């Protein structure tokens, strides 16, 4: 019979190895999707440079932040699109 002190680390290692594909399976965006996000952010930046009311500037800033987070989540850096 296997010693329980040896069995536990082996089971933990096996569990970690089996769960890695699940943990790293974040959705990756296509180049087209990432490019679209980059263009939207570019348009928002242009609008913000032109100025607007405080309320409108806040809306654009929040939208840009949402798009930037989405870009990071779908790994757009993989396509060389860095925002």
Q: What pLDDT, in 10s, does the model give residues 6-25?
A: 565 555 565 565 554 444 44
Answer for the pair 61, 18: CB distance below 8 angstroms, yes or no: no
Residue 75 pLDDT > 50, yes or no?
Answer: yes
State pTM to two decimals: 0.63
Better-predicted residue by pLDDT, 67 or 12: 67
| Per-residue confidence (pLDDT) for residue 13, from 0 to 100 | 61
| Per-residue confidence (pLDDT) for residue 28, from 0 to 100 | 77
2 CB burial (10 A radius; 0-12, 13-18, 19+): exposed
The residues, ordered by sequence, that sit 6+ positions from 9 with a Cβ below 8 Å of its Cβ are none
Better-predicted residue by pLDDT, 49 or 8: 49
Average pLDDT, the chain: 80
């Amino acid at each position: 019979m296997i010693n329980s002190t040896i069995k536990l680390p082996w089971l933990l290692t096996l569990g970690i190895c089996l769960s890695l594909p699940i943990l790293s399976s974040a959705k990756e965006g296509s180049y087209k999707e990432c490019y679209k996000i980059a263009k939207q952010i570019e348009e928002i930046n242009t609008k913000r440079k032109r100025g607007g009311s405080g309320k409108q500037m806040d809306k654009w800033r929040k939208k840009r932040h949402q798009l930037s987070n989405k870009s990071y989540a779908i790994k757009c850096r993989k396509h060389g699109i860095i925002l």
